[in-house]
């Protein structure tokens, strides 16, 4: 498997190697950025920022195997910085507009079931929601989520547990609706 | 796994359908190219000398923008839009004869191209006697050449009845007339989507055949809308397309889909077909481009009309939620239907319907002295003419009224800008 070799090449400043690494998981990166930024244009901007940061700091990456969790952590940081600049609501905001911007019918299919789940997600607090989204929709492990959100693993676990519990309660038991 | 975890897993599966846009790879590459290398290497002097020679020879290269008669492409009638088909009939274009063999045994044949200052269009067929997939395993990435790096923009295709051949066209950003040869970069999904294989196909490019001229005129006019300004900077017309570019400084432009559809380009008083719009945002602000069909020959007057665009109005309206009937409440001539008010475990749910273009701002319900703001939107359905949605409020008291601070909607502006035609 050439993955570690690619990371080593990228560490030496090889741009093609870095592009290839991102390319292998580009859908996952895009979805992660989109879940924070909501707008495809902003998501692309965040990804551009990310790849520049990666290139500038990859020589500091110690464990080659950790490339993906490291780079996604950087992506999430960039997204949050951009959101702060735009002073938008963080992650799954709860105003009406997020569901109503129907500009991108391909990427945002508004099925009823999803609405319910999103509705339930909007009922838990933003820290819990962020942890649940990162774990269940983006397949990230607890340690990476902890790095992304600047808290301990224990806090991540507790946020996920408490968040899921609240979602179950508000939807009336384990069977939803 | 609990029911909730199953639901989360289903949602994840659904989200996995969201794929990165094709242009992502190109954008990342461009972003990275702008970053200086970490260890700058000092180039020997002779490189600078060669660079200067190359530069001079590029500058002295002349091409005749008007001698563009090439060959006509056959078999692409289905997928060519009116203007491109006319250009093809007139023999404007260049044939290509290049084939790529894909891993699954199917083949991609590049048939022809059309190029002007606004776009590069590639015509191709994808075939396999054993049948081809409507979701082909390849994606167009970019085209490179001298002074050229053009990314794939959009494409369309049609399938034959036997499902063995797909005939398609793919547009790219415009290529440089200085290129003598172009290389198409193609990505093929292999190992069941686990890996990507890159193909490169080079073909000769003769701008004298494939390239036609353009006309550009600056506009520099600004239209005031409720929540900002639309500034029109320039119009560029080529034989295949007309593009208007400008800057957008409007907070709520995305509050309803297709806001730009209300901007018309009139040539001698007749609207030109609108072919879409794009907005891109950066820290400097947003820029937009509006694409229209090609201008008719010998056009004498051109006019841009902002017929409709997104508007905003403070309404400060209170709608009763008791004694419901089927009649709508009129809020500044926009109908608002209250369909249902119910108390649920989650809170108070209010079902309302409005026209498609209406988006309410600052929504709350009142029960006696108490006012509760909107918590979230639970569901939205589009019926024939209306958009119905369920609003959730965190409250355990049946409300008397619904209060609305403002409204985004499709507003008639009617501003018009004359464009100088010379």
Q: Considering the domain boundaries, does residue B13 fall inside one?
A: no
Pair B256, B275 in one domain: yes
**Residues of A with Cβ-Cβ distance to B20 under 8 angstroms:** 26-27, 29-30
- Given a cut of 70, is residue B305 above it in pLDDT? yes
Pair B390, B272 in one domain: no
- For residues B307-335, average pLDDT: 88
CA B333 to chain centre: 32
Lowest mean per-residue pLDDT among B68-72, B347-351, B353-357? B68-72
Pair B153, B260 in one domain: no
Residue with more model confidence, B63 or A171: A171
- Given a cut of 90, is residue B399 above it in pLDDT? yes
Among A13, A137, A171, the residue to mutate for chain B (most B Cβ within 10 A)? A137
Give the pLDDT confidence score for residue B297 in this predicted structure. Answer: 78
Pair B125, B253 in one domain: no
Among A44, A60, A93, A170, the residue to mutate for chain B (most B Cβ within 10 A)? A44
CATH number of the domain residue B144 falls in: 2.60.40.1640
Pair B158, B234 in one domain: no
Q: Tell me the pLDDT band of A90, cut-offs 50, 70 and 90.
A: very low
Pair B364, B388 in one domain: yes
CA angle B19, B275, B92 (to 5 degrees): 105
* Cβ contact B247:B282 at 8 Å: no
Pair B325, B355 in one domain: yes
Pair B188, B239 in one domain: no
Q: What are B165's two structure tokens?
A: 């051949």
Report the range out of A172-176, B106-110, B139-143 with the highest average pLDDT: B106-110
A117 torsion bin: left (phi>0), alpha (psi -120 to 50), beta (else): alpha
A5 contact B CB<8A: no
- Given a cut of 80, is residue B252 above it in pLDDT? no
Last residue of a domain, one of B155, B186, B212: B212
Q: Could you give the CA distance from residue A44 to residue B138 in angstroms, rounded to a whole number? A: 22
- Given a cut of 70, is residue A13 above it in pLDDT? yes
A81 contact B CB<8A: no
Mark yes or no for CB contact A115/B374 under 8 Å: no
Q: Considering the domain boundaries, does residue B55 fall inside one?
A: no
Percent of chain A predicted with pLDDT > 90: 16
Give the pLDDT confidence score for residue B169 in this predicted structure. Answer: 83
For residue B12, give the nearest of A26, A101, A136 by CB distance. Answer: A136
Radius of gyration of chain A (CA): 17
- For residues A92-108, average pLDDT: 32
Give the pLDDT confidence score for residue B64 in this predicted structure. Answer: 31
Q: Considering the domain boundaries, does residue B8 fall inside one?
A: no
Burial class (CB in 10 A: 0-12, 13-18, 19+), B164: middle
Nearest CA in chain B to A165: B4
pLDDT digits (tens, 9 = 90+) for B164-178: 888 888 888 888 877
User: Which residue range(s) make up the domain with B251?
Assistant: 215-312+412-419
Q: Tell me the pLDDT band of B83, cut-offs 50, 70 and 90.
A: low
- Given a cut of 70, is residue B233 above it in pLDDT? yes
Last residue of a domain, one of B172, B196, B212: B212
Closest CA–CA distance from residue B6 to any residue of chain A (Å)? 10
Last residue of a domain, one of B158, B179, B212: B212
**Residues of A with Cβ-Cβ distance to B281 under 8 angstroms:** 39, 41-42, 45
Give the pLDDT confidence score for residue B263 in this predicted structure. Answer: 92
Lowest mean per-residue pLDDT among A49-58, B128-137, B179-188? B128-137
Could you identify the residue written with the tokens 């040869």? B181
Count how many domains chain B has: 3
Nearest CA in chain A to B347: A170
Query: Phi and psi for B71 in degrees, rounded to 5?
Result: -115, 160
Q: Considering the domain boundaries, does residue B236 fall inside one?
A: yes
Q: Considering the domain boundaries, does residue B203 fall inside one?
A: yes
Closest CA–CA distance from residue A103 to any residue of chain B (Å)? 5
DSSP track, B8-19:
HHHHHHHHTT--
For residue A97, give the nearest of B3, B21, B359 by CB distance. Answer: B359
Give the pLDDT confidence score for residue B40 in this predicted structure. Answer: 39
For residue B24, give the nearest of A24, A26, A114 by CB distance. Answer: A26
- For residues B121-132, average pLDDT: 88
Mark yes or no for CB contact A19/B18 under 8 Å: no
Nearest CA in chain A to B361: A96
Give the pLDDT confidence score for residue B86 in this predicted structure. Answer: 67
Give residues 82 to 121 of A whose Cβ lies within 8 Å of B. Answer: 85, 94-97, 99-103, 105, 107, 109-119
Domains, chain A: 1-88 (1.10.1740.10), 111-177 (1.10.10.10)
Mark yes or no for CB contact B378/A100 under 8 Å: no
* Cβ contact A83:A90 at 8 Å: yes
Mark yes or no for CB contact B375/A45 under 8 Å: no
Pair B258, B327 in one domain: no
**Residues of A with Cβ-Cβ distance to B377 under 8 angstroms:** 96, 99-100, 115, 119
Nearest CA in chain B to A35: B15
* Cβ contact B185:B143 at 8 Å: yes
- For residues A66-93, average pLDDT: 75
* Cβ contact B307:B413 at 8 Å: yes
Pair B287, B343 in one domain: no
Q: Considering the domain boundaries, does residue B346 fall inside one?
A: yes
Give the pLDDT confidence score for residue B361 in this predicted structure. Answer: 86
Report the complex ipTM.
Answer: 0.77
3-state helix, strand, coil in chain A (%, to 5): 70, 0, 30
CATH number of the domain residue B398 falls in: 2.40.30
Q: Where are the beta strands (DSSP E) in B269-358?
A: 270-271, 274-282, 285-292, 302-320, 329-331, 334-343, 348-355
CA angle B174, B200, B16 (to 5 degrees): 80
Pair B403, B361 in one domain: yes
Q: Considering the domain boundaries, does residue B195 fall inside one?
A: yes
Mark yes or no for CB contact B20/A99 under 8 Å: no
A37 contact B CB<8A: no
Q: Which of A160, A44, A94 is nearest to B378 (CA)?
A: A94
Give residues 38 to 67 of A whose Cβ lies within 8 Å of B. Answer: 39-42, 44-45, 47-49, 51-52, 55-56, 59
Could you identify the residue written with the tokens 């397949």? A139
Q: Considering the domain boundaries, does residue B49 fall inside one?
A: no
Pair B203, B222 in one domain: no
Long-range contacts of A140-146 (CB under 8 A, 24+ apart): A140/A69, A140/A72, A141/A69, A143/A69, A144/A69, A144/A72, A144/A73
């Amino acid at each position: 498997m050439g993955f570690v070799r690619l990371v080593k090449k990228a560490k030496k400043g090889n741009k093609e190697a870095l592009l290839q690494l991102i390319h292998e998981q580009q859908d996952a990166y895009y979805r992660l950025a989109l879940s924070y930024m909501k707008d495809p244009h902003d998501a692309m901007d965040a990804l551009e920022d990310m790849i520049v940061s990666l290139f500038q700091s990859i020589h500091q990456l110690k464990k080659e195997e950790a490339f993906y969790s490291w780079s996604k952590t950087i992506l999430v940081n960039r997204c949050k910085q951009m959101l702060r600049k735009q002073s938008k609501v963080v992650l799954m905001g709860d105003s009406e507009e997020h569901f109503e911007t129907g500009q991108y019918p391909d990427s945002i299919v508004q099925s009823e079931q999803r609405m319910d789940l999103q509705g339930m997600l909007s009922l838990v607090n933003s820290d819990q929601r962020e942890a649940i989204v990162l774990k269940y929709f983006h397949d990230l492990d607890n340690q990476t989520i902890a790095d992304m959100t600047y808290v301990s693993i224990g806090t991540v676990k507790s946020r996920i547990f408490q968040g899921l519990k609240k979602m179950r309660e508000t939807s009336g038991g384990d069977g939803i609706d | 796994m609990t029911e909730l975890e199953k639901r989360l897993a289903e949602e994840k599966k659904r989200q996995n359908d969201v794929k990165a846009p094709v242009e992502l790879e190109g954008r990342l590459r461009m972003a990275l190219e702008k970053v200086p290398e970490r260890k700058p290497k000092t180039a020997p002097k002779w490189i600078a000398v060669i660079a200067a020679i190359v530069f001079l020879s590029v500058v002295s290269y002349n091409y005749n923008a008007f001698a563009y008669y090439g060959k006509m492409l056959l078999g692409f009638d289905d997928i060519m839009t009116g203007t491109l088909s006319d250009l093809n009939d007139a023999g404007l274009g260049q044939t290509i004869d290049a084939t790529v063999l894909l891993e699954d045994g199917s083949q991609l044949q590049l048939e022809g191209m059309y190029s002007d200052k606004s776009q590069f269009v590639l015509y191709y067929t994808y075939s396999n006697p054993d049948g081809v997939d409507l979701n082909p395993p390849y994606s167009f990435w970019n085209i490179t050449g001298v002074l050229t790096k053009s990314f794939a923009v959009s494409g369309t295709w049609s399938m034959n009845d036997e499902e063995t051949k797909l005939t398609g066209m793919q547009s790219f950003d415009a290529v440089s007339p200085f290129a003598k040869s172009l290389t198409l970069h193609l990505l093929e999904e292999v190992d069941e989507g686990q890996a990507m294989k890159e193909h490169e196909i080079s073909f000769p490019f003769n701008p004298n055949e494939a390239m036609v001229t353009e006309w550009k005129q600056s506009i520099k006019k600004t239209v005031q809308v409720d929540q900002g300004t639309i500034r029109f900077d320039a119009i560029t017309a080529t034989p295949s397309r007309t593009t208007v570019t400008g800057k957008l400084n409007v907070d709520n432009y995305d509050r309803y889909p297709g806001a730009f559809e209300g901007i018309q380009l009139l040539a001698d008083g007749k609207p030109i077909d609108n072919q879409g719009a794009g907005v891109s945002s950066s820290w400097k602000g947003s820029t937009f481009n509006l694409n229209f069909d090609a201008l008719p020959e010998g056009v004498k007057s051109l006019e841009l009309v902002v017929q409709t665009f997104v508007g905003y109005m403070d309404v400060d309206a209170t709608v009763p939620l008791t004694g419901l009937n089927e009649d709508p409440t009129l809020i500044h001539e926009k109908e608002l239907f209250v369909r249902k008010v119910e108390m649920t475990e989650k809170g108070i749910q209010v079902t309302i319907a409005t026209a498609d273009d209406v988006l309410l701002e600052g929504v709350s319900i009142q029960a006696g002295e108490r006012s509760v703001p909107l918590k979230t939107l639970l569901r939205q359905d589009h019926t024939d003419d209306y958009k119905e949605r369920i609003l959730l409020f965190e409250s355990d008291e049946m409300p008397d009224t619904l209060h609305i601070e403002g409204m985004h909607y499709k507003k008639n502006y009617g501003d018009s800008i004359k464009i100088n035609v010379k």
